[in-house]
Each structure stands twice: as structure tokens, then as C-alpha cells.
């Protein structure tokens, strides 16, 4: 993607977010006036008013999370209707995982997302399978619930607290729907509309998207990356690396080589990707930079190179994703091999072990344990 297209995408994203913020502010202000005028909920008692405002804010937050559940539920329903197999359902960090036809509660969180429903696509030639309804199922579900809330509001014979909450639900549902339907990258993560836009444009993107879903499914059931078909991680010479879904396969190949402990090949590929794939999602860029730092630590461990790699931006990302086992493994290596701080290293190792107990990705955990053993050998 050239600079003008990247600049255009950023402008579109910021304009969309600004519009939603303005609309949200207007609705919030008008809503407060509406409540005060029609419900007489506020009094002359400051503490009573503060308590009422806190209750309203709590209600709004609760409704927002309900809509996140509705959104992910939409992915599940339309995924099932499209022939997909359920893998996991996550709200915040709470994750329900399907493991040998049994459901287990785990903890996992992806920065920049409020939830996620992962499913395995139906068998196909890899290029032709249903993907639109699965991706836009959450948007459809939010709109349907908002319409139902609108109907309930019209049926109401009087203005009361319930009718106010229905209005809030309508507004939040539509906001969540539109922010996922419009092709945007929010917090470095592509939304549903962004995925559909690129999946429709390029059949190689559809193949890549299917592989990404299959990899997630196999990791959940315990299959290591190194044991998956090697051709999954290869791209044709004419593949459009400006397509974020296709370039994700290149990033995934780094993880494949990492799991095979082919660190030199993985390092060379990471450096090539960071230099030549400008449209790679930010979350993948940061993940690759973390691995570059790890390879330097367990390799030559040059202080000047480590300081160059361990930037403020990367430290911030590592802090945000500290719930990932790979980040605790990296911090453990840094404390033990760079800082020579045994006490700090043991704290990171304890945090790693805590994550191990709740992670839904059994194969990843097995790989990370091998990396911990490798660090200890150093």
C-alpha cells in the first residue's frame, strides 16, 4: 500500500471515530436532559444524584457488554448456519472452549478486542466457502436487537427508566454494528467489515483467512504449528502482501519456523516482513518485533541491539499483552539473561505458570514451555 492510500485509510478511520464520538456526546447530553425532564430522577441531594448517575453509568456499561455478547453470538449463529464448527467464544478475557466435545472455561485476551467467536470453516477447496455471513453475523445481530428494542420502546405506554435503557440499547447496538460494518482498523486490529472488503477482492485472501481459522482451531485442540502442513504457510509469487489477510500468513510462517526452532530462518523472515510489508496489522508487527528481541536475547545478547529493539512503543505493547504466555516468556528471558536478576525472573516465571493454567491454546503452551527450557539452558 502506497503512502497516499495509507494516509487515506487513517483519515477515514479518524473521521469515523470522530463522528461516533460527536454523536455519542450529543446523545449523552440530550439523554441527560430527557431523563431529568421526564423522570425527575434527580433531586437536590448531591449524594443521591451521584448515586443515581453511577447507577445509570453502570447500566450503560452492562448494556454495552450485553451487545458484545450479542455481537459474538451473531458470529456463532450465522457461522453455524454457514456450516462452521464452534471452537471458542470469548467475552473480555473469559473464554469458553470446545475440547473433545466438552466445554471448558479458560482465560485469554486479545488487545484491542472486546470479544471473539472463533469457528472452523466447512470443508472446501480453500477458496470457495461461506465467509460473508460468518464475518457480518455480529453486525446483523446488533441491528436486529436494536430494532427489537425500538419496537419495545414504541409499545411502551409511558416514559420510564426501562424506556430510557431501551434507547441506550438502540444507540449502543447501532454504534457497535456500524463500527464493525465500516472497513476500519481499530487499535491495529481489522474489524469485520475490513475483513469482508478484502475477502471479496482476492481469492488468495479467502484461502489465507480459511487457513488462519484452521490454525486457530488446531492450536485449540492441541496440534502444534510445526505439525501442520507446511504449504499452509506458503504464498504464491504474485500474492498481494498489501492485503492484510494475506500478509498475516507471512507472519504466521514466522511462528511456524519458531515452533520448529529454526530461529535463524524465522529472524531473517521477520526482518524481511517488517521492511517490505507496510500494511501488516500493527498487532502482527509488534508480535514480530517481540520475537526479534527474544532471538537477540538468547543469541548474541548484544546490549546496544537489545536497547534498539526494546523501544518505548514495544514496552507499552508488552505491558498491554502481559496476559500472553509468549510475553511472560520474553520478560523471563530479559530478566534472567539481560538484567541477570534471578528474583525478577522467578516472578515472571510464576506469572507464566499462572497463564499456562488458564490458556485455551494447549499447543502454544507446549511450545512456550520448550522456550522456557531453552532459556534456562542459556
CA 303-305-306 angle, 5° bins: 65
What are the grid coordinates assigned to 67, written together?
451487545
Q: Tell me: the pLDDT tens digits for 301-354?
A: 999 999 999 999 999 999 999 989 999 999 999 999 999 999 999 999 999 999
For every one of its 378 residues, what pLDDT tens digit does the chain have, with 9 covering 90 and above? 445 555 655 565 566 566 666 666 666 555 555 555 555 555 566 666 567 667 777 888 899 889 999 999 999 999 999 999 998 888 877 888 887 778 888 877 776 667 888 899 998 888 899 999 999 999 999 999 999 999 988 887 666 667 778 888 988 899 889 888 988 776 667 789 989 998 998 999 999 999 999 998 888 888 999 999 999 999 998 898 888 899 999 999 999 999 999 999 999 999 999 998 877 888 899 999 999 999 999 999 999 999 999 999 999 999 999 989 999 999 999 999 999 999 999 999 999 999 998 888 888 999 999 999 999 987
The predicted pLDDT at position 196 comes to: 93
**Measured between alpha carbons, how far is 213 from 209 in angstroms, rounded to an integer?**
6
What are the grid coordinates assigned to 47, written together?
449524594
Comparing C-alpha atoms, which of 69, 54, 45, 90 is closest to residue 138?
A: 69
**Measured between alpha carbons, how far is 338 from 348 in angstroms, rounded to an integer?**
14
Q: Rounded to 10 degrees, what is the CA torsion of 48, 49, 52, 57?
A: -140
Contact 90, 137 (CB under 8 A): no
Q: Tell me: the pLDDT tens digits for 143-182?
A: 999 999 999 888 876 666 677 788 889 888 998 898 889 8
Contact 90, 117 (CB under 8 A): yes
Comparing C-alpha atoms, which of 356, 362, 352, 296 is closest to residue 329?
A: 352
**Measured between alpha carbons, how far is 356 from 287 in angstroms, rounded to an integer?**
19
Whole-model pTM above 0.85? no
**Measured between alpha carbons, how far is 148 from 150 in angstroms, rounded to an integer?**
5
Alpha carbon 157 to its chain's center: 42
Amino acid at each position: 500500500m502506497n503512502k497516499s492510500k495509507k494516509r487515506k485509510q487513517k483519515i477515514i478511520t479518524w473521521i469515523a471515530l470522530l463522528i461516533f464520538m460527536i454523536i455519542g456526546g450529543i446523545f449523552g447530553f440530550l439523554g441527560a436532559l430527557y431523563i431529568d425532564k421526564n423522570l425527575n430522577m434527580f433531586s437536590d441531594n448531591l449524594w443521591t444524584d451521584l448515586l443515581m448517575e453511577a447507577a445509570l453509568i453502570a447500566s450503560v456499561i452492562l448494556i454495552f457488554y450485553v451487545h458484545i455478547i450479542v455481537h459474538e453470538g451473531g458470529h456463532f449463529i450465522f457461522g453455524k448456519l454457514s456450516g462452521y464448527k464452534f471452537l471458542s467464544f470469548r467475552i473480555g478475557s473469559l473464554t469458553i472452549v470446545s475440547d473433545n466435545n466438552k466445554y471448558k472455561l479458560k482465560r485469554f485476551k486479545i488487545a484491542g478486542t472486546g470479544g471473539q467467536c472463533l469457528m472452523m470453516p466447512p470443508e472446501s477447496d480453500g477458496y470457495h466457502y461461506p465467509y460473508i455471513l460468518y464475518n457480518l453475523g455480529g453486525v446483523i445481530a446488533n441491528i436486529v436487537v436494536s430494532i427489537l428494542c425500538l419496537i419495545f420502546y414504541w409499545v411502551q405506554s409511558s416514559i420510564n427508566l426501562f424506556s430510557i435503557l431501551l434507547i441506550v440499547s438502540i444507540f449502543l447496538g447501532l454504534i457497535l454494528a456500524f463500527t464493525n460494518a465500516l472497513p476500519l482498523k481499530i487499535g491495529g486490529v481489522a474489524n469485520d467489515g475490513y475483513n469482508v472488503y478484502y475477502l471479496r477482492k482476492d481469492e488468495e485472501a479467502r484461502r489465507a483467512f480459511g487457513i488462519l481459522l484452521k490454525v486457530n482451531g488446531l492450536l485449540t485442540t492441541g496440534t502444534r504449528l510445526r505439525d501442520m502442513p507446511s504449504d499452509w504457510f506458503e504464498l504464491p509469487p504474485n500474492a498481494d502482501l498489501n492485503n492484510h489477510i494475506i500478509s498475516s500468513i507471512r507472519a504466521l510462517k514466522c511462528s511456524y519456523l519458531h515452533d520448529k526452532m529454526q530461529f535463524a530462518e524465522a529472524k531473517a523472515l521477520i526482518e524481511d516482513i517488517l521492511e517490505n510489508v507496510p500494511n501488516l496489522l500493527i498487532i502482527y508487527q509488534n508480535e514480530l518485533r517481540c520475537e526479534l528481541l527474544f532471538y537477540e536475547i538468547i543469541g548474541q545478547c548484544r546490549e546496544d541491539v537489545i536497547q534498539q529493539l526494546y523501544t518505548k512503543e514495544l514496552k507499552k505493547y508488552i505491558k498491554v499483552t502481559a496476559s500472553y504466555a509468549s510475553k511472560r516468556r520474553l520478560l523471563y528471558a530479559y530478566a534472567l539473561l539481560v538484567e541477570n536478576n534471578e528474583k525478577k525472573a522467578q516472578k515472571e516465571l510464576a506469572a507464566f505458570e499462572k497463564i499456562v493454567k488458564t490458556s485455551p491454546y494447549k499447543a502454544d503452551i507446549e511450545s512456550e514451555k520448550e522456550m522456557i527450557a531453552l532459556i534456562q539452558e542459556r
